[in-house]
């Protein structure tokens, strides 16, 4: 807290104590000695009568303790002209003698006794005190509800919801969320499209509260917001397209396990708080800060359920290959998010292939259908390989690079199958194509991630949006505390 936010203290010695502290009881006679020879002011946190005979000031509301950062009682301060110049914490005879200039203090007491936790830092009270006395700690506009207004309905009525109920972002909840990061609340995280509104850490925290996040998820949400607001990811274009795509968040590194993310069974489904609320928080930031609302800038013809929340972690420990993050340039062991502009997942079922060539061919015929069998080069794909399929490649010694290279080979398509009218289908490429074949995907357009449940010979593909200057690229960001 800045000095300007701290009220002046009386000049002289100032002590903070509470009766419910054995060390405070121990030093009460020492305080009597000090009061006899110097100006001493005592603030008491729990019993207005303690210590007896010293005319203590009642600080049971804890305002003075909170404003002066008292973490332990007893704490003894020396104050000059309203400002603290020295502090002794707990009871240590040498520290008290040095601070007061009085020799022989507490000669009959032990040399050292640790104090007790100040009530002003009690976990049950700390956030409440921060709200009560913090003043302008949060810069966001306060919204006052009418006495009969239901807070859940109020969030719907104000247009902040994605269609599901939100957690009301009270000051206490937002302050608790901000404890999840070391970044300053007023730090600008990004300019959020489409309106390009500057968005602070505090604003992201508010939306993370509404999404239902825990505070230890906040660094992941912040990294996802940073990635989404880059020119490379092109969030504005992703919103404005009529295609059913949105941001897909893939998390790598130690933070996956630290916050309990799902990378196994039902990895794309319901049931995991971290996966769902992190994905939802990003979408709420885009909606509430950037103005990316459905039916307005968001022009998706169909959309997909992943536009509510699509976030998952990679199963790095069970994978035979390097994680997606290192493929994209991250250091091994680094916690990252990768944003991919994707549609909903589509299952790839192959229960019989036991050799890698057969399984690669199964993947290829499915990947050929992405968006349309005749559409090539325009879209990337995120291929999510399940553990039982991954085992087929591992046992045959296939690397990830070998698999991707083979898929590109299998997905070179003859011109006569792609042109308009081929197969009796009007959709397709122009008939005057100057090349005999075209690849389904651009170089680097197939990304591979390992995840999913251990039982079942399944994988999944997540089709991307348009690549190139008018489209979106996958974007990697490190997760910072």
Over residues 22-58, the pLDDT tens digits come to: 999 999 999 999 999 999 999 999 999 999 999 999 9
The reply to whether omega before 395 is within 30° of 0 (cis) is no
Q: Is the dihedral of CA 64, 69, 71, 76 positive or negative?
A: negative
User: Which burial class, exposed, middle or buried, applies to 342 when counting CB atoms under 10 A from its CB (0-12, 13-18, 19+)?
Assistant: buried
Average pLDDT over residues 157-172: 95
Average pLDDT over residues 200-210: 97
pTM of the model: 0.87
pLDDT at 357 over 70: yes
Q: Which helix (H) or strand (E) holds 153?
A: helix 151-157
pLDDT at 1 over 60: no
CA gap 314, 329 in Å, rounded = 16
The reply to whether omega before 74 is within 30° of 0 (cis) is yes
Confidence at 135, pLDDT banded by 50, 70, 90: low
pLDDT at 6: 62
CA gap 168, 154 in Å, rounded = 9
pLDDT at 141 over 90: no
In the chain the domains, ranked by start, together with CATH numbers, are 3-133 (3.40.30.10), 155-478 (no CATH)
CA gap 216, 314 in Å, rounded = 19
Contacts of 339 (CB under 8 A, 6+ apart): 224, 227, 228, 233, 247, 248, 249, 250, 474, 475, 477
Smallest CA-to-CA distance from 335 within 394, 253, 261 is with 253
Give the bridge partners for 325, in sequence order: none
pLDDT at 3: 47
Each residue's pLDDT tens digit, 284-306? 999 999 999 999 999 999 999 99
Percent of the chain predicted with pLDDT > 90: 91
């Amino acid at each position: 807290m800045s000095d300007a936010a701290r009220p002046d203290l009386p000049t002289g010695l100032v002590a903070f104590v509470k009766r419910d502290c054995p060390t405070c009881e121990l030093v009460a006679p020492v305080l009597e000695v000090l009061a006899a020879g110097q100006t001493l002011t005592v603030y008491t946190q729990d019993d207005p009568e303690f210590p007896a005979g010293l005319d203590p000031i009642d600080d049971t509301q804890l305002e003075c303790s909170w404003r002066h950062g008292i973490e332990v009682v007893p704490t003894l301060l020396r104050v000059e002209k309203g400002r603290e110049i020295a502090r002794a914490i707990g009871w240590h005879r040498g520290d008290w003698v040095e601070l007061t200039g009085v020799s022989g203090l507490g000669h009959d007491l032990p040399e050292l006794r640790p104090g007790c936790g100040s009530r002003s830092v009690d976990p049950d009270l700390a956030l409440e005190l921060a709200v009560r006395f913090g003043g302008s700690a949060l810069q966001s506009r306060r919204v006052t509800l009418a006495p009969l207004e239901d807070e859940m309905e109020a969030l719907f009525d104000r247009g902040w919801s994605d269609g599901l109920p939100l957690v009301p972002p009270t000051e206490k909840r937002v302050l608790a969320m901000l404890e999840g990061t070391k970044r300053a609340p007023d730090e600008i995280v990004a300019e959020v499209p489409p309106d390009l509104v500057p968005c602070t850490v505090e604003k992201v925290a508010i939306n993370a509260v509404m999404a239902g996040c825990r505070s230890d998820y906040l660094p992941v949400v912040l990294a996802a917001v940073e990635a989404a607001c880059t020119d490379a990811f092109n969030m504005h274009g992703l919103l404005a397209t009529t295609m059913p795509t949105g941001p897909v968040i893939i998390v790598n590194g130690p933070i996956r396990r630290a916050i309990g993310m799902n990378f196994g069974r039902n990895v794309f489904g319901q049931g995991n708080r971290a996966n769902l609320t992190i994905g939802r928080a990003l979408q709420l930031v885009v909606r509430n800060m950037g103005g990316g609302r459905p039916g307005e800038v968001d022009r998706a013809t169909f959309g997909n359920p992943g536009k509510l929340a699509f976030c998952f972690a990679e199963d790095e420990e069970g994978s035979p290959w390097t994680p997606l993050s290192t493929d994209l340039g991250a250091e091994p062991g680094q916690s990252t998010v990768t944003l991919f502009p994707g549609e909903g997942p589509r299952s790839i079922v192959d229960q019989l292939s036991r050799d890698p060539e057969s399984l690669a061919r199964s993947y290829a015929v499915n990947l050929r259908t992405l968006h349309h069998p005749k559409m090539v080069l325009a879209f990337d794909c995120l291929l999510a390989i399940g553990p039982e399929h991954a085992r087929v490649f591992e046992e045959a010694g296939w690397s990830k690079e070998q698999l991707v290279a083979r898929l590109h080979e299998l997905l070179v398509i003859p011109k006569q199958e792609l042109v308009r009218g081929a197969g009796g289908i009007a959709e397709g490429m122009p008939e005057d194509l100057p090349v005999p074949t075209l690849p389904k995907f651009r170089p680097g357009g197939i990304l591979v991630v390992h995840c999913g449940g251990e039982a079942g010979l399944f994988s999944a593909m997540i089709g991307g949006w348009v690549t190139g200057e008018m489209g979106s690229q996958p974007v990697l960001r490190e997760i910072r505390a």
